[in-house]
Amino acid sequence: MELDKETNKQIQDLQILEQSYQAMFMQKQSIQMELGETKTAIEEIDKSKDTIFRVIGQVMVKAEKDVLKKELKEKKDFLELRLKSIDKQEADLRGDIERIRGEIVSKLQ
C-alpha cells in the first residue's frame, strides 16, 4: 500500500513526537528521583540533633542546619515547579501524539 506524502510526513512527525515524549519521560524520572532525595534529606535534617554536614565534591563540610534546610526547601520547591511544568508539557505532547496517530489510522482504514 502506497502512502501519500502527507501521511508519510505525519508518520515522521509522530516518530519525532514519540522520541520527544521518551526524552521528557526520562527527564521527569530524573527530577522525581532528585525530588525524593531532597525530601529525604529535609526529613533527616529535621530528625537530626547532631552536627550537619554537606558533601561538596569528595569532601564533607560542616553546615548550618537552618541554612542547609532553607536551601533544600528552595530546591524542593523548584523541583516541584519543574515537575508540574513537565507534567503539562507531557499531557500536551500525549494529546498531539494521540491526535496524529488517530489521523494516520483513519487514513489507513
Delineate the domains of the chain, giving CATH numbers in brackets.
Answer: 5-102 (1.10.287.370)
pTM: 0.83
- The per-residue pLDDT for range 45-58, each reduced to its tens digit, is 999 998 999 999 99
Average pLDDT over residues 47-73: 94
DSSP strands (E only) in the chain: 52-56, 59-63
Three cell numbers written together for 9: 510526513
- The per-residue pLDDT for range 74-92, each reduced to its tens digit, is 999 999 999 999 999 999 9
SS3 call for 15: helix
Beta bridge partners of 61: 54
Query: How many whole angstroms separate alpha carbon 53 and alpha carbon 45?
Result: 10
DSSP for 61-88 reads EEE-HHHHHHHHHHHHHHHHHHHHHHHH
Q: Which amino acid is at 19?
A: Q
Backbone φ/ψ region at 57: left (φ over 0), alpha (ψ -120 to 50), beta: left
Query: How many whole angstroms separate alpha carbon 109 and alpha carbon 103?
Result: 10
